Amino acid sequence: MAQAKKALTRQTRSQNTKQTQTYKNYIGGEWVPSRSGDWIENRNPADTRDVIGRFPASSEADVDAAVAAAAAAFDAWRLTPAPRRAEILFRAGEILMRDKDKYTRDMTREMGKVLKEAGGDVQEAIDCTYYAAGEGRRLHGFTTPAEMPDKFAMCVRQPVGLCGLITPWNFPMAIPSWKLMPALVCGNTVVIKPAEDTPLSTHNLIKACEEAGVPPGVVNLVTGYGETVGARISSHPSLRLISFTGSTETGRTVAYACAERNAICSLEMGGKNAIIIMDDADVDNAVEGAVWGAFGTSGQRCTASSRLIVHKKVYKKFSSKLIERAKQLRVGNGADSAVDVGPVINRDAVEKIMRYMDIGENEDGATLACGGKQLTKGDYVHGYFIEPTVFTDVTPDMRIAQEEIFGPVTSVIPTKSLDEAIEIANGVRYGLSAAIYTQDVNRAFHAMNETYTGIFYINSATIGAEVHLPFGGTKGTGNGHREAGTQVLDIFSEWKSIYVDYSGKLQRAQIDNKKAIG
């Protein structure tokens, strides 16, 4: 969805913007307008009459200025002891905590997810910031015996250098924090570009960093379109590492740009995640999990439970309870605490999801059991609302069971056995998350072992990752990296192996070994 924007137009300086709050880029410790003079309007997807603000539609020159600032700040930051860097991050965590309510409301307004979930997103950023701060006193390397006498061997982490971070709109504070905080604690300097639909939440995150005392140039924020700002970041010769989360198509473009100059590239992309529901499952609990996994964040999570593979013995019972629950969900403005499912992000998203409704019903031949419609009347008239949708009688090869829809749509697929269910779960191009509902420990462990995904849940939906465990997927989901956990440090630091020879003579590895045997 590289072209997707809820911004209606590209504005110029000449347009009347009296009432609209204007935001700026953050480069070298200064809040500065774009050199382009162009803007992107940030509008509320629940009510597009509500203009949140205008953000710079930056140019390549802005990216270049941000990279120059990151380069100028790098030496001082990498030489700042990691525990000192961490103290600054810890302060940023406290600021995020202090302003959580405001950031939560801002996020619901610009992204649409319901307040509870927006609060969860901000909380994830807080957790991630504290967690990264804790790493300042670890960042462990290791020592290991050398193969010769009077020789010492060890390994330390060093910063990678200048990093470019490109983030999506669905977790507009959590995902930037997943990348930014570990990058900083490792001693890197950063240029970050949020998605064009949700720049405010990243703006808030960077404000917290500024207030916490992150030195000028260490973090630089450049807002704008993917094809200009994102493309320049991806291909900038001074950016040694690009960390990207978004669509598979854009991720591939970013990877090509990195390959050109051998830059490190960490990609986190799509998912088509399955919950397996066995005949011994607690069906009510499984239904609650499926509702949460499929319709939370209006299904706009890379870990969304978009496939429900259900044993034939409980298929009818599960499906009818699921449909009943889906029909009960209240769709509306996420700022209303009675609402369960907020809008989707923009018009392009509506069009894409509605295309899949059509494909599911008319091309695939699945049964549209509930939902399937865009809501356009009354309170819905100015927003992007879609009914929670359940397709039943879905077969594994159908497009709705193979392709990422990224909306409030889930497919129920009948199965006759656990092994068949696992085969179906694995039979997609992605490998992010999977889950099983069963009371049988043998089945649970078998499925856990045989499901080729980066994340697995037992008796819980496919969503709900915690920041101290690695996050990422196999196959088309990524390129082998993991964010979060201590594993993220392997993205944002490089290993240096160090040998100390205190024998006072030449000792040649592999040649002068005195073998213990033989």
What positions carry a catalytic annotation?
A: 268, 302
Angle between helices 283-295 and 312-328 (to 10 degrees): 50
Per-residue contact string for residues 143-182; x = within reach of ligand ADP by CB under 6 A: -----------------------xxxx-------------
Q: Does 40 bind ligand ADP (CB under 6 A)?
A: no
Tokens linked to 516? 């213990």
Q: Does 2 bind ligand ADP (CB under 6 A)?
A: yes
Q: Does 463 bind ligand ADP (CB under 6 A)?
A: no
Q: Shortest approach of ligand ADP to residue 79 CB, angstroms? A: 31
Q: Does 226 bind ligand ADP (CB under 6 A)?
A: yes
Q: Does 332 bind ligand ADP (CB under 6 A)?
A: no
Q: Does 272 bind ligand ADP (CB under 6 A)?
A: no
Q: Does 193 bind ligand ADP (CB under 6 A)?
A: yes
Contact at 8 Å (CB) between 307 and 425? yes
Task: Name which of 278, 301, 362, 375 is nearest 331 in CA terms.
Answer: 375
Choosing from 221, 231, 278, 409, the residue that interacts with ligand ADP (CB under 6 A) is: 231
Contact at 8 Å (CB) between 372 and 385? no
| CA 478/CA 188 separation, integer angstroms | 23
Contact at 8 Å (CB) between 176 and 205? yes
Q: Shortest approach of ligand ADP to residue 246 CB, angstroms? A: 3
Strand partners, 437: 277
Choosing from 254, 326, 422, 435, the residue that interacts with ligand ADP (CB under 6 A) is: 254
Q: Is the CB of 163 or the CB of 254 nearer to ligand ADP?
A: 254
Stretch that binds ligand ADP, among 228-236, 276-284, 394-402, 416-424 (CB under 6 A): 228-236
Q: Shortest approach of ligand ADP to residue 419 CB, angstroms? A: 34
Task: Give strand ranges (E) for 67-217.
Answer: 142-145, 151-159, 162-166, 189-193
Tokens linked to 462? 């496919």
Tokens linked to 190? 């950063």
Q: Does 223 bind ligand ADP (CB under 6 A)?
A: no
Is the torsion defined by CA of 275, 281, 287, 288 positive or negative? negative
Q: Does 202 bind ligand ADP (CB under 6 A)?
A: no
Backbone torsions φ then ψ of 435, nearest 5 degrees: -150, 160
Stretch that binds ligand ADP, among 25-33, 97-105, 247-255, 419-427 (CB under 6 A): 247-255
Task: Give strand ranges (E) for 79-119.
Answer: none
Task: Name which of 512, 491, 495, 492 is nearest 503 in CA terms.
Answer: 512
Choosing from 62, 121, 196, 483, the residue that interacts with ligand ADP (CB under 6 A) is: 196
Q: Is the CB of 315 or the CB of 406 nearer to ligand ADP?
A: 406
Choosing from 42, 250, 266, 303, the residue that interacts with ligand ADP (CB under 6 A) is: 250
Please tell me whether residue 504 adopts helix, strand or coil conformation. Answer: coil
Report strand pairing: 189-193 vs 219-221.
parallel
Q: Shortest approach of ligand ADP to residue 231 CB, angstroms? A: 4
Q: Which residues bind ligand ADP (CB under 6 A)?
A: 1-2, 4, 166-169, 193, 195-196, 226-227, 230-231, 234, 246-247, 250, 253-254
